Amino acid sequence: MTGRERIRAVFRCGETDRIPWVPFVGCHGGALLGVSAEEYLKSEELIVRGIAAAIGRYKPDGIPITFDLQIEAEILGCNIVWAEQNPPSVTTHPLAEGKKLDELVVPAPEAGRLPIILRAARKTRAAHPDIALYGLVTGPFTLALHLMGTQIFMEMFDDPDGVRRLLDFCSAVARAVSGYYIDAGCDVIAIVDPMTSQIGPDQFREFVSPHITPIFEHIRRLGALGSFFVCGHAQQNIEAMCECKPDNISIDENIPLEYVRDVCLPRGISFGGNLRLTTVLLLGTPEEAQKNALDCMESGGMKGFILAPGCDLPYATPPQNLEAVARIVHDPYQREVVKALVKEKRAGEILDMADYGQADKVIVDIITLDSEACAPCQ
């Protein structure tokens, strides 16, 4: 069974020989080549080479072409700032600065950086026919926030019809870009909408569901698979996300994998996640990466589960940590070794929580993955 076949089977909650593995390699591909995130995400050749390097080292079943939620926003007039080790970040919001919604046009495949990415997808498809390719599209709510800024949260109360018109436009953008990726050979279209973690299920059903459900219907009509990506504390919206009828829901470590499994599988929806990006993959050891992967695999189970990080891999993620995850995915003996080591270590662990909550003042910790490059963290 090829990785591509394995991903397709798991997306349909079918039987497979093992749990598939999808490292979300975005600007990390630049680190593998020794170039900056800006150089990487602006170059068709470097993207193709970075993906090939990641496939060679991490032995995935699927991989994204890029992981950059600013592509559509940049085309539509948002100013962006580039960084050495991050995707670009949006710094201006045209609709908050006087631009009118009816002045915006759904991007053509020749717009902005889309031609670079679509050519990279076609070349990667030809070079790696057995790997499932993911095309990542900015979700309607996140794109709307790029265009309007945080004012959108007030407008949801003050001008809900105006917000719906904006989301309708953003949904049209997502459907168009999804089609471009499918034409370029992508098997999976991931609608990445992290800003939905900032609203509750009532607002989600009122503003997001009517505009994202047609995207998954469109993807399905075009013969591809649709995944709904969200990050952050979005547990309250998992049931509402399922109602949008994606083929898959992908989450990060903020949501218990068991909870997502128990909500998704009865509805015939596959799920993915939720390797720890920072504490394990970026800052941990290969042994810690394998332990985390094993925990995820045991929670996810053999039906409908894809092992993946919760979001875009940090640029400087040590390759040996991802290679360690690949070994545990592909080698049952490695899994047994890790199980034995974890069991032995846990037998000697004692967690001392005696001092927890005993400070004489309130302490608020605000911990983000990357406050400059991550839309929800901003």
Beta bridge partners of 90: 80
Helices (H), ranges, the chain:
3-11, 28-33, 37-41, 44-58, 71-75, 114-127, 140-148, 151-158, 160-183, 201-203, 209-221, 238-243, 257-264, 286-300, 319-330, 332-347
Burial 241-274 (b: 16+ CB within 10 A, else e): bbebbbbbbbbbbebebeebbebbbeeebbbbbb
Chain Cα centroid distance, residue 106: 23
Kind of pairing, strands 305-309 and 132-138?
A: unpaired
Write down the pLDDT at residue 354. 65
- Mind giving me the DSSP string for 348-361? T-----TTTT--SS
Query: Is residue 87 within 8 Å of residue 65, measured between CB atoms?
Result: no
- Nearest by Cα to 191 from 250, 119, 268, 255: 250
Give the pairing type, strands 248-250 and 225-229: parallel
pLDDT of residue 341: 81
Cβ density class 182-200: b for 16+ within 10 Å, e for less: bebbbbbbbbbbbbbbbbe
Tell me phi and psi for residue 269, to 5 degrees: -110, 130
Predicted local distance difference test score (pLDDT) of residue 95 = 97
pLDDT, tens only, 188-230? 999 999 999 999 999 999 999 999 999 999 999 999 999 999 9
Residue 21, pLDDT score:
98
Residues 143-158 have pLDDT tens digits of 999 999 999 999 999 9
Among 221, 229, 95, which Cα is nearest to 149's? 95
Residue stretches of the chain with pLDDT short of 50: 347-348
Domain 3-347 class, CATH top level: alpha beta
Are 122 and 177 contacting, i.e. CB atoms less than 8 angstroms apart?
no
pLDDT at 352: 61
What local confidence, expressed as pLDDT, does residue 273 receive?
A: 87
370: its two tokens? 């990357």
> How many C-beta atoms surround the C-beta of residue 52 within 10 A?
18
* pLDDT for 348: 47
- pTM of the prediction? 0.91
Residue 64: beta bridge partners? Answer: 134
